[in-house]
Amino acid sequence: MLSESDLALVNALQVWPRAPWSAVAASLGVRSADAVARRWERLSGSGDAWTTAYFAAPANGDCVAFVTVRCLPGTKDEVAAALAHDSCCISVEVTAGAQDLMLTVAAQNLEALNHYLLRRVERIPGLTATTTALVTRFYSEGANWRLHALGASAHAALDPGLDRQQPGTAFTFSALDRRLARLLSENGRASYAELARDAGTSQATARRRTTAMLRSRVLSLRCEVAAPLVGLPVTVTVRGRVAAENVDRVAAGFAGLAPVRMCATVTGEHNLLATVWLPSISAIQQFEQVVARNFPSFVVHDTLVNLRTVKRMGRLLAESGRATGVVPMRAWSATESHQAAV
């Protein structure tokens, strides 16, 4: 378990993943920014917590899909390991329930997604069936989830103060933007000097382009943590259906529940999906009772309990939940689709 001071540090970086250490120290009531930086080096070095970045799919034009997978007995681990090394398969979970695996897949368009599923995923030995649900809208995601180890005043002090562009403002991606996003996916706190060196540009340009992506909301930053180390070892995905006229209200309500890490509307038999972090197996029933009381129009289709997270948002995880490696996230492209077909 992380200490209270470590929880507060992670919470501070959840609010502002690239906050200067001086601002983080002030929010924590610590005098030494260097001491806070060393504490983060310890946490990130051991894989207890980490920062990452990724393109927001609607803004980038990509599509995101949740893919459930059935496997032959005894092959789940091998199938999961094979998929975890694909850059576009950004999350891989081994589940208990009606499905064996749950994947989160990003592709540049529907054609590329179709080719990835047909020519890569469904050709893996041991895999017997897949079901795909496309995300129509995210109501909350991991970047919004908080540990709540800090007070409101500390949260306010960590506001990055980025002036947001108006909704619908166009953003034109360059090859440099994609290189910067890839580097930030490996380390969301990489300095502008490091970004400039590795992306082959100047510090001023690296700062300007990164800030532009964050302001336009096409790039998201998040601070992640090993769930068992914060007392939340049970991850559950709830899938169900709600009438179309109620879907916005119910999804927004779901997103506001403290245990909910991610909530999205999707296509298919069930139109609402939520991922929940809980302290115990018994808490699953308690959560379902809360849902039943607050959202009577929502009908649960199934509940998938996560037996192990193999990969979360590009990070390869040990059974302890700690990060052990990174596969930079990237949407599957048409070029890769043609290569896979060869």
- CA-based nearest residue to 133, from 166, 157, 99, 165: 99
For residues 217 and 166, the answer to whether their CB atoms sit within 8 Å is no
Q: Which residue has the higher pLDDT, 152 or 269?
A: 269
Residue with tokens 């917590």, as numbered in its chain: 49
* pLDDT tens for each residue of 15-29: 999 999 999 999 999
Residue 175 three-state SS: helix
Triad 150, 155, 156: Cα angle to 5° = 150
- Rounded-to-integer distance, Cα 104 and Cα 88, Å: 8
pLDDT at 12: 95
pLDDT at 299 over 50: yes
Distances 251 to 83, 166, 276 between C-alpha atoms, Å: 29, 24, 14
What φ, ψ does residue 302 adopt, rounded to 5°?
-160, 165
Q: Compute the distance between CA of residue 185 and CA of residue 200 in angstroms, rounded to an integer.
A: 17
Q: What is the pLDDT of residues 163-183, one digit of tens each?
A: 555 554 567 778 999 899 999
Predicted local distance difference test score (pLDDT) of residue 341: 35
> What's the whole-model pTM score?
0.91
Which span out of 10-14, 154-158, 164-168 was modeled with the highest average pLDDT? 10-14
CB crowding 274-297: b at 16 or more within 10 Å, else e: bbbbbeeeebbeebeeebeeebee
The whole-number average pLDDT for the span 69-83 is: 96
Q: pLDDT tens, 214-262?
A: 988 888 999 999 999 999 999 999 999 999 999 999 999 999 999 999 9
- Distance separating alpha carbons of residues 284 and 250, to the nearest angstrom: 19
Paired with 272 in beta bridges are 240, 265
pLDDT in tens, 134-147: 999 999 999 999 99
Cα distance between residue 249 and residue 214, in whole Å? 28
